[in-house]
Amino acid sequence: MREIRAALYRNRWLIGGITAVAIIAGLLLALLSTPIYRSVATLQIDQQGPEILGSEDQDPAASGDVEVYLQTQVEVLRSRSLADRVARSLNFYQDPSFFEKMEITPPDSTPGSGSWQRAVINILQQNLTIELTSGTRLVDVSFDSPNPRLSAQVTNAFAEEFIASTLQRRFDMSAYSRQFLQEQLGQTRERLEESERSLIEYARRTGITNVENGNELEGSGQTLTGSNLAALNAAYAQAQTDRILAEQKWQQAQSTPLMRLGDVLANNSIQTLQAQKAQVQAELEGERDRHSADYPTVRQLRARVEALDDQIEAQATQVRNAIRDQYRIAVNQERSLMANVNELRGAALGEQSRGVQLTILRREADTNRALYDALLQRFRELNAAAGITANNILIIDRAEVPTAPIWPRPLINAFLGAVIGFGLAAAIAFARERLDDSIRSSEDVERKLGLPVLGITPKPANADAETEMLDPHSPMSESIYALRTALELSTRDGLPQTLLVTSTRPAEGKSTTSEALAREFAQSGRRTVLVDADMRRPSVHHNFHLDNKAGFSTLLTSPTLVPEAVKPTDVDNLSVIPSGPIPPSPPRLLSADTLDRVFNQLRERFDVIVIDAPPVLGLADAPQLASAAGGVLYVVEAHAGSQGQAKASIRRLLGAGTNILGVVLTKYDFSQGSYSSYGYHDYYSYGGHDRAEA
């Protein structure tokens, strides 16, 4: 977020300018654009229309998914065929004023031609808007036009023609269905008549008669032979049962004594005779008690008893013979029925083989009859519903003539322009930031150069670094204090006695940093000398208001330390060695032996030697000087230093065997840098107001 904030601040004028231009462009577009009016009609599209007869045809697609059905209707509203119906209903194909109202140049053709019609349909489709309200069956139909009356007219025409086209499609579908059913009815009727004729002719030829109704066309009843066979089978089964019972009864009669048979005992005649016998027997017993066996009355009664016994035996014999006769009759009847059943069974089997074809013909006739009845019923329903229109589309709100345009809207245009402009400016700023090779913050130094940041000096508020440097409570002085502390802790042995300050290119603040460090070291009690080793563009003697007749170039050409080259200043413990006369070729003076001699002489007199070296890029001076120094402080100007140039310069220094202690970031604007959120700027000015008040 700090980096984004810093990037926005650095590009504030670019972003503000592009955004302002976009807002102005949006307002100009709004003022110069033709007003566009939009009229809206609301339709309700139900899946099914109201049922009047209960058998009306509905849209087959309506029985599916609701969302799919509604989306299909929306696409129908956008279709070319519906736009063609609207154009024909409003006579746009023959009316040139349509293009005038739409403020569009008509095609170079006569009204009604193909290109004219295509142009009209394209205009209608391009300016038509269909919106489906989520979660409902409501659809908004709108048309945009420079003419408000035309907008309402076309919108209502789309709604009305949509309903009319839907009803027309259903009517056409019903007419096609009726025609198709009529053709199918004719074909089915012919097949039914043919199948019925074939069935009757085959039944007559084979002599198969249905005994239930006498008509082979009705049902599948039993034939005459089959009916007779069934009756004989039933009679045969009964005769067989009777024979078995009679046989069992006769067998029982044969094995049972005659007078113990149930039929004999149950016979009325025998029972009467038994009663008479009992009465005569009683009379006989009475007479025997009074008379002898030869007495006439006794003999008469004995004869009567014997006669009754003969009658009872004869009657019982007749009963048993009757049981035998019943058994014989049952056997004969069973045999006779068996012969008849066998005869009819053969006839039935022959009839069944012929009845297979009859069944096939009857089934075909039944199928044709059922199909014919179903088609006839459907045809009657279609004829009844042909004149009834089940409309499932309703116009909820008709389109009205709009009173205010939807475009342009100055405030919205200005807002859109601001959004687009800001987005474009942000993209440009982002690209600029990504393509920018400059070093803007300490994070850039560590990431891009791979060196630690020892300090950050602020950009002078009044563009006068000298004045701020002399103020001990200024942000510049505070940053130098921090830099001095960092230098003292930069190595294990503390601050190097010889410190060289250089940069990639001129005007990055190396001279100011060198002077500020030299003052700070001197004020801390160290004997310090500031050496202006930039023998190409010297500046130290100007800052301290000294003459440049003798200086560093003089020491390089003299075997001993020249006292006139070392100049005292008004700062305690601080001396200055200006550059001296500018030699024709400074690198020729900067040999290793010469530099060692000069710096050894200075080390004997001073505790700290600060060398203001020339820039590294393109010059040989700085690497030669750095090889003789104990440490190098590299200066990079914030927001201006190039990563590529700085890395190339550092590689040159490292190639010379120098010890680069770190980097100081100069001319840093805390108000737009990422450090502003940490309060560095406030820290450097901490306590300033209290001191001013004191």
- Which pair of tokens denotes residue 149? 């009356």
Question: What are 591-645's pLDDT values in tens digits?
Answer: 889 999 999 999 999 999 999 999 998 788 889 999 999 999 999 988 776 778 8
Element (H, E) at 505: none
Residues of the chain with CATH 3.40.50.300: 437-686
**474, 686 Cβ separation under 8 angstroms:** no
Looking at 11-147, list the stretches that DSSP marks H as alpha helix, in order from N- to C-terminal side.
Answer: 12-32, 66-77, 80-89, 97-101, 114-126
SS3 annotation, 360-414: HHHHHHHHHHHHHHHHHHHHHHHHHHCCCCCCCEEEEECCCCCCCCCECCHHHHH
The Cβ-side half-sphere exposure at 209, using a 13 Å CA radius, reads 8
108 CB burial (10 A radius; 0-12, 13-18, 19+):
exposed
pTM over cut 0.75: no
Say how many C-beta atoms besides its own lie within 10 A of residue 593's C-beta.
Answer: 8
Rounded Cα–Cα distance for residues 590 and 226 (Å): 142
Rounded Cα–Cα distance for residues 235 and 335 (Å): 12
Question: What are 481-508's pLDDT values in tens digits?
Answer: 898 999 988 888 888 999 999 998 888 8
Q: Tokens 């299909």 identify what position? A: 72
Q: In the prediction, which pLDDT does 376 show?
A: 78
Give the sheet arrangement for strand 631-637, strand by strand: 453-458, 660-668, 631-637, 498-503, 608-612, 528-532, 574-577, 567-568
Q: In the prediction, which pLDDT does 656 show?
A: 87
Q: In the prediction, which pLDDT does 609 show?
A: 94
CATH architecture assignment, domain 38-177+390-397: 2-Layer Sandwich (3.30)
- Which pair of tokens denotes residue 467? 């004045």
Q: In the prediction, which pLDDT does 600 show?
A: 92
What is the Cα gyration radius of the chain?
66
Residue at 617: amino acid letter? L
Question: What are 429-456's pLDDT values in tens digits?
Answer: 787 767 666 777 778 788 888 899 999 9
Q: In the prediction, which pLDDT does 167 show?
A: 83
Let me know the angle formed at the C-alpha of 253 by 252 and 257, rounded to the nearest 5 degrees.
110
- Which pair of tokens denotes residue 302? 């004995």
- Which pair of tokens denotes residue 197? 């004729």
Pairing of strands 128-132, 574-577: unpaired
Identify any residues that bridge with 281 across adjacent strands, giving them in sequence order.
none
Q: In the prediction, which pLDDT does 90 show?
A: 93
Residue at 506: amino acid letter? P
Question: What are 324-362's pLDDT values in tens digits?
Answer: 888 888 888 878 878 777 776 666 666 666 666 777 877
Q: List b or e across 470-502, with b for residues whose CB sees 16 or more CB atoms inside 10 angstroms.
A: eeeebbbbbbbbbbbebbeebeeeebbbbbbbb
Q: In the prediction, which pLDDT does 597 show?
A: 92
Rounded Cα–Cα distance for residues 60 and 181 (Å): 18
Q: List b or e across 225-255, with b for residues whose CB sees 16 or more CB atoms inside 10 angstroms.
A: bbbbbeebeebbeebeebbeebeebbeebee
- Which pair of tokens denotes residue 210? 């249905």
Pairing of strands 138-145, 128-132: antiparallel
Q: In the prediction, which pLDDT does 690 show?
A: 45
Cα–Cα separations (whole angstroms), residue 674 to 432, 435, 460, 677: 17, 19, 18, 7
Residues whose CB falls within 8 Å of the CB of residue 132, separated by 6 or more in sequence, listed in order = 70, 71, 74, 138, 139
Provide, rounded to the nearest whole percent, the portion of the chain with pLDDT above 70. 85
Residue 638: left (phi > 0), alpha (psi -120 to 50), or beta?
Answer: beta
Q: Report residues of the chain scoring pLDDT below 70.
A: 2-3, 6, 49-64, 174-176, 178, 207-226, 229, 344-356, 379, 382-390, 433, 435-437, 461-466, 641, 671-694
Q: In the prediction, which pLDDT does 678 show?
A: 38
Q: In the prediction, which pLDDT does 692 show?
A: 39
Residues of the chain with CATH 3.30.1890: 38-177+390-397
Element (H, E) at 436: none
**636, 504 Cβ separation under 8 angstroms:** yes
CATH 3.40.50.300 is right for the domain spanning 437-686: yes
Residues whose CB falls within 8 Å of the CB of residue 350, separated by 6 or more in sequence, listed in order = none
